Structure 1
Amino acid sequence: MEKNKVSFFNSIKTKITLLVIVSVLITTVLCMWTVIPLVEDSQSELIKSYMKDVVLVAGKNIDKEMEYLSAADVLSSESLGSVIGNVTVHNMESSYAYAVSDDGTMLYHPMESKIGQPVENDAVKQILGEISRGRRPETDVITYKFSGSMKYASFYVGENMDFVVVITADEEEVLSGSGIILKNSCYAACFILVLCSVFGFILSIRIVRPIRKITLIITSLSEMNFSENKLQAYINKQKDEIGVMGRSIDSLRKELVVMMKGISGNSESLFEASGALSTSSGETAIAVEQIEKAVSEIAQGATAQAQETQTATEDIILMGNMIEDTSREMESLRENAEKVRNAGNQAMDILSSLSSVNQRTKEAIQVVYDQTNTTNESALKIKEATDIISEIAEETNLLSLNASIEAARAGEQGRGFAVVATQIQKLAEQSNESARQIDDIIHSLIKDSEESVETMKEVRNIIGQQNENVIHTEHAFNNVKEGIDQSIESIEMIASKTQELDEARVRVVDVVQNLNAIAQENAASTEETSASAAEAGTTVESIADNARNLNEIAKQLEENVQKFIME
């Protein structure tokens, strides 16, 4: 019972009491939140109306006295003091009345120091501004801020607009009544809260009491005690939902008692029947197991035979695929060898043509070489001729010089000879210069010719070596061609043998496939028989297991039924 004890904070009684308290608090706060502003507004309007009436009466009294007395007498501080000195808002210490002339001079004020001084209130200055513009403001109540606090002020402007009577009061004091109302409301709310809390606590006790009793009844049922409980009569008398719940629980208890008695009677019969079924199913399971073992051995042999046959078939098919691949590769090899032979023949033709071209090139190089040597020899002969010309030109020059000397000696008779000697000297110098230029050209030609001769020697040697390489290459290609021809003959022979092997492979595959089909049919039939036997064995074992389980369930059912207290 201790473990079913509910803590104070989890108790329904506590929850109901808290629900009542929270509801009252929320209601009170909402009421005060909505009512207090309305009260303040109502009180403010009431005070404004009262202040307006008071200032209106005081102002009318002043106007009435001015009908009989002069304005100076009526508006003197003594006269105004007797009229408005005691005019205030009832029970408000901050309230007082004062009067201001139309030019802003303070006519009367409770503080004598302010009498005769200019008015300081901006709100009153605005009223005086209206008067100066010839407009008489209607009697009203205004609010303004003075010395840091809000004030209410009601004013009255005389009929001749020569004075203004003002009654003022602090807003804080005007609305002080709402604070009293708020405090009284709080007291009332506290009282209601306490009263409702007590009521809620008492109500929760009345609600929780039958719940506790029905909890005891349910706890007794959970302990397998289905005997009649003394508390049930109390619960059945309840008229609320708890009573309905209790009567339903009592009806359920009675039905369970009847049911458990029937179960108790049938559990013994079930225990005996399950024992007999367990014994017979065990014997049947042993017999089926022996049959299954024999069939399984036969099935294993047939399956092994089928697997070996299948393996042989797969190996032969693999061999066939390999033979087919070999045939394809041999055909590809034969085609490639044929292509290589054709390429070799073309290479031989090209080498023959290259050898012929190379021979002609060699002959042409030899001709160029001989011609270059001839040109070189001619250049040397020309050089010898230019040397002779140079020597002749020098001797001619000396002769012309001697002729010029002799002509000079001859005087006037040798002048013509001197002219001829001069021309001969010029020709000798030109010949000498031309011979020198020809010598330079011949020298350059001989140098280039010698280089050409050396180059042609190297080219002739290279052409000779190239010709030898072409001859060697031609011999090598002849050997390759002979090898390719022999390879093609061997490939054709292998292809023929491979074709014969493939035909034999096809015949073997047909035989092995027929053998495999027969082995598979035998294995399938044996496996079906083994599966049927295994299924029968499984069924019998399942029956035996179920019988044993049923026996255990009957035993547990009997033990569980014994736990119920019926009386």
Structure 2
Amino acid sequence: MKNKNNFFVNLKIRNKLYLGFSFMIIIIVILSAINVVNYKAMNNQIKIYDLVSEMEANVLAARIEQVRYQQDGLAETSAKVQSSLDIAKTSIEQASSLMKSETNIINSKKIIQDLDTYKTSFSTYVQMEGEKDSQSVIMQDESMVAYDRLNETLRLEEEFILTLTVSEEIKASYEKYVLLRKINMAFMSMNSYMKDYQIDKNAENHKAFDDSVIQVKDEIANARKILKAQDVLDELDIAEASIISYDEAFDKYFDLSTQQSDVAASVRAVATNISDTASVIRLGVLDYVDNLENRINFLNLILTIGAIALSVLIGLIITSLITKPIKKTVAIMDNIAAYDLSTDLDAHFISRKDEMGHLARSINQVSHNLRDILRNISNTSDQLASSAEELAATSLMSANSGNEVAKTIEEIAEGATNQAKNTSNGVDSANDLGRLLERDADRINSLSIAAGQVSQLKDEGMKIVDHLVIETDRNGQASNSVYDIVQETNKSTEKIEVASQMIKSIADQTNLLALNAAIEAARAGEAGRGFSVVADEIRKLAEQSTAFTEEIQNTINDLIKKSLQAVNTMKDSQQITLSQSKSVELTSDKFMGISSAVDHILNQITEITESRRVMTTKKEDLIDLMGSLSAISEENAAGTEQAAAAIEEQSASMDEIYEASNELAKIAEELKMAVSRFKL
């Protein structure tokens, strides 16, 4: 037992701690191994949860792209749906390979089957969409054929109507045209209902389309009963055949749309089943993770309590082996702290082989070394104090000289700085003058451009005035020509009036002769009846001539009146033309005055521009001179500032040396007093 105790006593503290830490590490390794297994299982479940969520997100993306495909019908959108479903299938297959629960494996296989069903159903939906597009193309082609043929029937009937002259025939043909127009309108309604159905898939639009087809067929049958033209009937037959094909294609389109709706409903049900099954898998994973987390926490709690208890026990044992020798060593250190270096440690502690024995030997050696150091410090502190006093006196004299030199350099630096500032202000003023000159140059250039534009506008105005003078002369000549023509027209009107009076006189005489002829025919009896008819016709012609002569007379009177008004108007126009000619001449004179003023302004602007150029050259020379002077002043100021800074640094260094010397003397005195406190 004694040997065993000596073994633990002589065992080094590091080995004692290693022994305790070994037990702790064994416990931590066991705890870590258990946690690694549990956390691996938890990470596996979390990965399953993430893969299932990723699968569900891709199914949702496929549903969104499917809705977009139903709207745009693009092959790119269809490919996105297929890609999302493939990614979803890959995710659930990866999750299934990680699953351990039989229920989750069955559910994952069910999801894979549903994804295959979804993909197959969507492929069927896309195929139906392609067939619908084919039927839409057929409907569009047949619609165009029917539309063209119906318009051709209208055109043929219109051409036929234009060839008719008898009102009854025109009326009958117009009724046929109206009937053909009704067929055309019914066909347009049918086409409109078809397009509405393609947009909203409404059953009412489908029924309206069927009703329109029946109406078109009935109208065509009614038209055949009254139409006779073979070319119109042929066009109508072609249109009816296209309408029948149109109707058949629409019925197929409707059937495909109905089947697509069923497929879409099936896809929605499959997507719902996938989402529900995925929710079941996620809930199972979450329950498993919660149970596993509770188990891990409970096991960690048990292992932590055991580790703490074992650690406390090991700590108490190790502490009891370390604290006893430390207390004895601390008592010796308290004596050293009380400036007592005359006491050494017992040989019992020095002879120990553990860290405490090593510590005892080290403390004993420190005590001996401190004794020797304190004796040496006491001897050298006196020499240090005298040297510090001499150094302080020398540094004080150097500091005073440096301060006087620094003041002189500061005064020089201040003068150089003021000179540099004044020179810089001069440069700024010269630059301000340069900017003002540049602004004046810009204004002069703008003024020169404006004057050039005014000169150009003046030249254009002179051209316009010259042209206006020419046009005014031509207007006057035209007015005189019109006045002459009106005068000639007035004379011709008077001649027409004379001729009209002569025609009226001839008509009166003809009427009188016709009356006499009628009287003579009456006297002749039955033999003069034919002559009586001729005389009556002559009388009627004479009366008509008289009536026409009166109308001509009224027209001539009105023409004479308007001719007089035109003559008066032309006289007024001649007066206005004369006044306009005078105004144009005055305007031409004004433009000539403006031209002289503009030429004078341009000459003045040229002289100002030359003066501004000379001032700019002088300004540049002044700026260069001021810049050189400013640079020299700044260099002088910088040099004096550097010299002042160097002197100040030297003075500061001397002050620091002086302070350090005084401080060194104080330290030497304090060191001597501190050494005297030790008991050697």
TM-score normalised according to structure 1 size: 0.50
1:552 aligns with 2:663: yes
Q: Which moved more, 1:257-266 or 1:479-488?
A: 257-266
Identify the match of residue 207 of structure 1 among 301, 310, 321.
Answer: 321
Letter in 2 for 1:293: K
> Residue 284 of structure 1 is aligned with which of 398, 402, 424?
398
Instruction: Decide whether the 8 Å contact of 2:385 with 2:668 is kept in 1.
Output: no
* Alpha-carbon displacement from aligned partner over 1:258-290 (angstroms, at most 9, x marks no partner): 556655655554455444433432333223222
Where does residue 534 of structure 2 map in the other structure? 420
Please give the residue correspondences for 1:241-390 in structure 2 after superposition, counting only pairs within 5 Å.
241-245=355-359, 247-248=361-362, 251=365, 255=369, 258-259=372-373, 262-263=376-377, 266=380, 269-305=383-419, 307-309=421-423, 311-312=425-426, 315=429, 337=451, 340-341=454-455, 343-372=457-486, 374-375=488-489, 378-379=492-493, 382=496, 386=500, 389=503
Identity %: 29
List per-residue Cα deviations over 1:177-222 (Å, max 9, x = no partner).
xxxxxxxxxxxxxxx99x9899847733433425753884798599
Cα 1:198/1:490, change in 2 over 3 Å: closer
Aligned equivalents of 2:379, 2:428: Cα separation in 1: 68
How many pairs are equivalent?
390
Equivalent residue, structure 1, for 2:149: none
SS at match of 2:353: coil
Q: Relative to structure 1, is the Cα distance of residues 409 and 251 closer, same or farther in structure 2, using a 3 angstrom cutoff?
A: farther
Query: Given the superposition, is the C-alpha separation of residues 436 and 563 from structure 1 closer, same or farther in structure 2, using an over 3 Å criterion?
Result: farther
Evaluate the alpha carbon distance shift between residue 437 and residue 220 of structure 1 in structure 2; reply closer, same or farther with a 3 A threshold.
farther
1:113-512 matches, within 5 Å, as: 200=314, 203-210=317-324, 212-213=326-327, 216=330, 220=334, 227=341, 236-245=350-359, 247-248=361-362, 251=365, 255=369, 258-259=372-373, 262-263=376-377, 266=380, 269-305=383-419, 307-309=421-423, 311-312=425-426, 315=429, 337=451, 340-341=454-455, 343-372=457-486, 374-375=488-489, 378-379=492-493, 382=496, 386=500, 389=503, 393=507, 396-397=510-511, 400=514, 403-404=517-518, 406-432=520-546, 434-435=548-549, 467-494=581-608
Q: Is the CA contact (8 Å cut-off) linking 2:345 and 2:364 kept in structure 1?
A: no
Question: Structure 2: which amino acid aligns with 1:301?
Answer: G
Match of 1:532 among 643, 650, 653: 643
Which SS does the other structure have where 1:361 is aligned? helix
- C-alpha distance in 2 between matches for 1:452 and 1:556: 134
Q: Which residue of 2 aligns with 1:541?
A: 652
Describe the shift of the 1:363–1:198 C-alpha distance in structure 2 as closer, same or farther (beyond 3 A): closer
**Amino acid corresponding to residue 514 of structure 2 in structure 1:** S
**Larger mean Cα displacement after TM superposition, 254-263 or 214-223:** 214-223
What are the ranges of 5 or more consecutive residues in structure 1 without an aligned counterpart? Answer: 1-12, 31-191
Q: 1:474 to 1:254 in 2, by over 3 A?
A: farther
Whole-Å separation in 2 of the counterparts to 1:406 and 1:283: 175
When residues 23 and 330 of structure 1 are mapped into structure 2, their CA distance, relative to the original with a 3 A threshold, is: closer
Return the letter of the residue paired with 2:597: G
Q: 1:26 to 1:452 in 2, by over 3 A?
A: same
Q: Is the partner of 2:477 in helix, strand or coil?
A: helix
Aligned pair in 2 of structure 1 residues 375, 258: CA closer, same or farther (>3 Å)?
Answer: farther
TM-superposition CA deviations, 1:392-442 (whole Å, max 9, x none): 646745763564355234312422431330331342255356547757876
> 1:282–1:541: 8 Å Cα contact kept in structure 2?
no
C-alpha distance in structure 2 between counterparts of 1:419 and 1:497, whole Å: 112
**8 A Cα contact 2:441 2:609, kept in partner:** yes
State the 1:310 CA deviation. Answer: 5.6
* Bigger share in strand: 1
Q: Rate the CA distance shift 1:205–1:471 in 2: closer, same or farther, 3 A.
A: same
Residue 264 of structure 2 is matched in structure 1 by none
Distance 1:503 1:206, change over 3 A: closer
| Cα distance in structure 2, aligned partners of 1:329 and 1:469 | 37
**Larger proportion of helix:** 2
Q: Distance in 2 between matches of 1:298 and 1:320?
A: 33
SS at match of 1:552: helix
Alpha-carbon distance change, 375 to 561 in structure 1, aligned in 2, over 3 angstroms: farther
- Once the 2 structures are TM-superposed, how far is the Cα of residue 487 of structure 1 from its aligned partner? 2.4
Bigger drift between 541-550 and 256-265 goes to 256-265
Quote the offset at 1:17 in angstroms.
8.9
| RMSD between superposed Cα atoms in Å | 5.6
Shift of 1:535: 1.5
Name the counterpart of 2:198: none
State the 1:242 CA deviation.
Answer: 4.5
Amino acid across the alignment from 2:396: G
Q: Give the drift of 1:308.
A: 3.9
User: 1-side partners of 2:568 and 2:672: how far apart?
Assistant: 132
- 1:412–1:524 distance in 2 versus 1, CA, 3 Å: closer
Distance change in 2, residues 1:544/1:344 (3 Å): same
Shifted more, 353-362 versus 551-560: the winner is 551-560
Please give the alpha-carbon distance, in whole angstroms, between the structure 1 residues aligned to 2:370 and 2:581. 124
Distance 1:306 1:337 in 2: 46
8 Å CA contact 1:396–1:428 kept in 2: the answer is yes
Q: Name which one, 1 or 2, has greater alpha-carbon Rg.
A: 1
Letter in 2 for 1:545: E
What does the per-residue CA deviation read over 1:83-127, in whole Å, with 9 as the maximum and x for residues that have no partner?
xxxxxxxxxxxxxxxxxxxxxxxxxxxxxxxxxxxxxxxxxxxxx
| Matched AA of 2:404 | Q
**Do 2:344 and 2:364's aligned partners in 1 also have CA atoms closer than 8 Å?**
no
Does the CA-based 8 Å contact 1:267-1:557 persist in structure 2? yes
Distance 1:374 1:249, change over 3 A: farther
TM-score, normalised by the number of residues in structure 2 = 0.43
Give 1:544 deviation, angstroms. 1.1
Per-residue CA deviations over 1:61-85 (Å, capped at 9, x if unaligned) read: xxxxxxxxxxxxxxxxxxxxxxxxx
Describe the SS at the equivalent of 1:239.
Answer: coil
Measured in 1, the distance between the counterparts of 2:640 and 2:650 equals 15
**Residues 210 and 242 in structure 1, CA contact (< 8 A), matched pair in contact too:** no
